Every structure is written in structure tokens, then in C-alpha cells.
Amino acid sequence: MKRPHWFKALSYITALLILATGTGSCTQQLESSPNIWIDSPVDGAPIPSGTTVTVASHAYARQGIAEVVLSINGEAYRRDVPQSPGETYVQLNQDWQPPADGAYAIQVQAYDSTGQTSNIASITVRVGEAQTDITPVPVTGEETLTLAPTTTATPTPPQGAVIQFWADPVQIAAGTCTTIRWHVENASRVMFGGIDQDFDGSYQDCLCESTRYTLTVVQLDGTEIKQRVDITVTGVCETPTSPPPAQDTTPPPVPSPAVPANGLALSCRSNLNLAWQPASDPSGISAYYVKLEMQVTQNNWQSAGGYGPLTDKQVDVSVQCGVQYRWMVRAQDGAGNTGDWSAPSYFSININ
């Protein structure tokens, strides 16, 4: 699957000409956010069984390219940094070994040195497509040589995404909680709350007013679908006019994260159980709250989910392979006092 040196050089020169001679609007777009595109393989290309596929891409960022992520069917497969991190224009080759014959969506996305993400470049290939060779027909006397036609299998177009997005329940009393759930198939990307999510996930929220939630799904052909669910809230959240006499104003102690152990590297998975040492308070512990963050770039973290109020000492969270995480927990006592967040506990999910 390697391209000759002259092809790579031509691709590089062409990209530079595009950058140099593009219209004003294109120049502003390239300067404002990273861009990435796939050079090879081409969209719809048939791939022989057992072949290692080299995905060649180019990326540009005014702030310098820090990392390129290769995903297969919406799942992160590998992350690579350029040979010279920080360059504004880089070329990168990433190898992928198809596990079996079938159709695959290949996507690449770049991150610049500030953590800003590029567009997602996507193609579809089909592994295991066979071709029929030209077979000569024997010639006798004056007969004319007839060649059997060469047939090439046509890649099967990707199916449309299957999306289930709902709330349980859809109507609640003010101050109570509902759980938002989703299940997605035949897609390359799922986003909720402004961040990428697993194809099966949930989010719990406690509300004082009616709220609309949106799930964004990117199909295998690159088109985008938005699904929405509305939560109806009845009544109002009551606010006490004055504090009760002899009110406990001392916050509870800080709980300690326990599982997984700080700094632990775990095998690839989509769900993980977080557990902590419970706190104690004279007013009792009424709830725990957990926040989970994922590392985008070095020293750059963004929210990967919030959980609470929780009455248990553990919670199941959704995670992605090939990502570094940190999480914190705090307690709320029976008098309504909320303690400080614990120190961050770090863990990572390997790609394999």
C-alpha cells in the first residue's frame, strides 16, 4: 500500500499550492482551525484480505500539529505525533491491520498545540474484495482471441445510522432526577454534551425547569443527524426563606478515591467502575458527587461527565480507549453542606 516517492512529493507540492493560492475565506479557515485530509487509500478502495493498510494523511495548523488520531468505525485505534511536533504542516503514515473482511470507516483527526481539534477526514474501504483476472481464450486457426472481462466488486454503501435516544422518565417533579440514555449503530461518531461519547451511554441530571437535550450522530458517509429529547418539569424547586435554628454549617470530610488505583493503566474497555472510601459526618452523608475529566493535550483537560447525587460509594462511567483520565469525588452531609473535591486520581485506558 506504499506510494512512490514522486507521488508523496507531488501531494506535498499540491497541498502547498492550495495553501498559497486559495481564496481569502479558505485562508481564514486554515488559519483559524486545524485541517486534515487523507491521501491514501482512496475512498471506496478494495483492500485484499490480510493486507496491512497504511493510512497516509496531511495536516495543517497555525499553532502546530501536536497529535493525529486514527479511528476505525468510530473507535480510536492509535494516536501518533509527528516526527517534528509543532510543525504547521506535516505528513503522517499510520498502519492499520483489518481484523476481518468487511466494510470499514477510516477517520483521522488532528490536534494542535493548544488542544484545538481539526475536521474529521473520513473514507470507507472494503477489505476482502476480489478481482477476476483477464483469462485468454485458446486460439485455433483464424479464430479471434476473446478476453474475459475483468470484474471489480463494488463496495457496499454504508447503511444509515440506527439511533435510539430517550429519557427515563421524561416528566419529573422539580428537584428530582432523570436519566438520559442512547444506543447508536452504523455511525462513525456520537457526541453529547459537547464531547465524544460511546455508542451506548447514559447521563443523569436533576432539574428545576424543563430542559431539552441533543444527541449528535455522524454517519459513516459523513452526514450529521441530531436527535432531541425534552424533559418536562412540574412544580418549582423550593428555596428555604431562612436557615433552620442551630444549623450544621461544617462541611463533611473529603472522600478518598480508591478504585482504580492512582496511575493505573487499564486494558481497552467502554465502561469502568469508580469507587471511593466513604466519608462520615455527625449529620450523616446524604450524597456523593463525582466529576470525570479526559486529557485532550498535555495539561489540557475537559469534562467527560458528571455524576450525582449518588447514595452509593461507587459509580459506573463511560470511557474511551487510548485516553488519559482523572477523577475527583466530594460528599454532601445531611444538613446540605458540600465538602471539597478530593485530589485528582489518574488512570489511563490503553488502545488494546
Question: Mind listing the pLDDT tens digit for each residue in 71-130?
Answer: 999 888 999 988 887 888 888 899 999 999 999 999 999 888 888 888 999 999 899 864
> Please, what is the average pLDDT of the chain?
83
Contact in structure between 121 and 134 (CB atoms under 8 Å)? no
Average pLDDT over residues 168-172: 93
Specify the pLDDT at position 24. Answer: 42
Helix (H, G, I), strand (E, B) or coil at 19: helix
Instruction: Tell me the domains of the chain and their CATH numbers.
Output: 5-127 (2.60.40.10), 158-237 (2.60.40.10), 249-352 (2.60.40.10)
pTM of the model: 0.33
pLDDT (0 to 100) of residue 156: 56
Please give the C-alpha separations between residue 48 and each of 1, 45, 101, 153, 181, in angstroms, as whole numbers: 10, 10, 9, 12, 39
Classify the C-alpha dihedral 112-191-122-319 as positive or negative.
positive
User: Residue 205 pLDDT more than 90?
Assistant: yes
